[in-house]
Chains A and B, each alone.
Chain A
Amino acid sequence: MLREAAQWLARADLGTLDEAAFERWRAEDPRHALAFIRVSEAARRVTTDGAEAPAVKRARKLDPTRRGAIAAGLAVFSLGGGALIAGKVNARDRASTPVGGMRHVNLADAGGLTLNTDSAASWKADHQGLRLWLERGEIALDITAGARPVHLKGGVVGALLGPGRYNARLREGLLDLVVLKGEASAEGSNAAPVHGPAALALTPERPLARPLSEQDIAATLAWRSGEILFVDEPLSSAIEEYNRHLTRKIVLADPQLSGLRVGGRFVADDPSAFLRALETTMNVRVTPSQQAMLLSRKNS
């Protein structure tokens, strides 16, 4: 039955579906309808939810045509020119936060900057406007209306940000830029700017734009109020996220737990509610040690 449903779905995909025949087949037996739901959902998950999975990423990278990549929801920019040479380090203002800290800084008339846990940023105003370097961690950036565009740099990549609201996070050589409101264009690129809400992953190769869901936006905003928001995240990445805020880290002692999916809103600097929820609702035991909180499986 799944085979038949797959056949119908392939026809629908290719525009060769005989609508009337399909409707007849679907109405014939609820198991037919169910099989069609299953194949549709499986294809959707591989295509959409699996977009982060290596196979899909590779598939996307393999695509040599610009057209194909755009169709896949990625914007392709040609990254011309080299990286800009950063200004004199000693002339910059700088702010940083320790693990578990958060700090707000006013950027003269350009707007405001909030540093998340374990983060560092420096900035400098010159005739071109404000230049801002994200050196470590994550920042939220508000650029006031009427202010000049801000040059944001993180690692070797950068972007020009118009008035609006942004979130930038540095991770493994890429700058993850979330445009909540405003307009951002990747540095060295002559492609059209990205308008919020959208996200832009700036990599040395090329910037990748992606649309933002309500959940992405909520998760991005959560830390500004000292919260952490997980929406159906694997436990391993939830812990990674939490550990950014903790001096006493959470450690997965049993790798088998890493794929459990978790969700919820928690206080960023106090993991006790999070750990309690893990213990009461999942097959997880929490064992505190001096340096860490160890997570293992309860005996089932």
Chain B
Amino acid sequence: MSHLRPIDQWFMDQILPLEPMLLASARKLVNDPDAARDLVQEAFARLLTVEGWAQIEAPHPYLLRMMRNLAFEKLRRAKIARFEQLTLAEDFDVVDESPDAFRVLSGREQLAQLDAALKDLPERCRRVFVMRRIEERSPREIAKHLGVSPSTLEKRLARAHYLVAKALAPTPALPLEDRPAKTDEGRRKNSTKRS
């Protein structure tokens, strides 16, 4: 039984894969990695409250615009604005149009990362995770097999989930080679409608 709503499923399929690219873009708006992470996180949280999420056809430019607005909001509130960042933000929401046949989907060595995420878990947590998630054994069977109480089982599995999620936290995509900026206004407006 899944506890994922349609919006969660959509978010996993359409939005999370964009995160490395969004993080890279966020670095153009804010000047440290933590702030970039926060900015993306904030845009994500806001997107999850958008009523018409299912109608968003081009989430990438949508999110970039959202991030820029959020960054501007922050800058306006900040005591000292950083002018150089405002200029950098020109043309920010224009998504680099790679040929459809080819795009960078995410960072490097994903498999190694997945492998490490599991391998680096503390042994006791890994056993529970593997038995439940990979071998799909029943909680009762696992508790009996390991000789632990249900609450210990829950603690270990929760810790495993937490550490796995932390280990798989996305990193910014490698910057693409600079290409001539597209300044055509019409195209920019259309970009949200492009599927």
A residues near B (Cβ < 8 Å) are: 2-3, 5-17, 22, 29-31, 33-34, 36-47, 49-50, 52-56, 59-60, 63, 68-69, 71-72, 232, 234, 256, 258-266, 277-278, 280-283, 298, 300
Contact = CB atoms under 8 A, between A and B. Distances in A.
A17 B3 contact: yes
12 contacts: A2-B162, A6-B159, A9-B161, A33-B45, A34-B45, A37-B8, A38-B16, A43-B129, A46-B133, A50-B118, A53-B115, A55-B119
A52 B164 CA distance: 17
B162 A37 contact: no
Contacts of B102: 262-264, 277-278, 281-282
Given A33-B8, A37-B16, A277-B99, A53 B154 contact: no
A50 B110 CA distance: 9
Contacts of A56: 114-115, 118, 134
Interface string B42-81: 0011101100000000000000000000000000000000
Contacts of B126: 59
Contacts of B99: 277, 280-281
Nearest to A282: B104
Nearest to B157: A10
B111 interface: yes
A28 to B, nearest CB: 12
Given A56-B118, A282-B176, A42 B168 contact: yes
Interface in B130-186: 130-137, 139, 150, 153-155, 157-162, 164-168, 174-177
A34 B41 contact: yes
A73 B57 CA distance: 35
Given A22-B3, A39-B161, A34 B44 contact: yes
A68 B114 contact: no
B164 A43 contact: yes
B16 A41 contact: yes
A2 B159 CA distance: 10
B135 A63 contact: yes
| Top 9 closest pairs, chain A to chain B, by CB | A259-B108, A50-B114, A53-B115, A6-B162, A6-B161, A264-B101, A259-B109, A10-B158, A10-B157
Interface in B72-123: 98-99, 101-112, 114-119
B12 to A, nearest CB: 5
Contacts of A71: 135-137
Contacts of B168: 42, 45-46
B157 A53 contact: no
B134 A60 contact: yes
A234 B48 CA distance: 31
B177 A298 contact: yes
Contacts of A262: 102, 104
B164 A46 contact: yes
Interface string B1-20: 10110001001100010000
Contacts of A72: 134-136
A49 B134 CA distance: 12
B129 to A, nearest CB: 8
Nearest to A40: B4
Contacts of B41: 31, 34
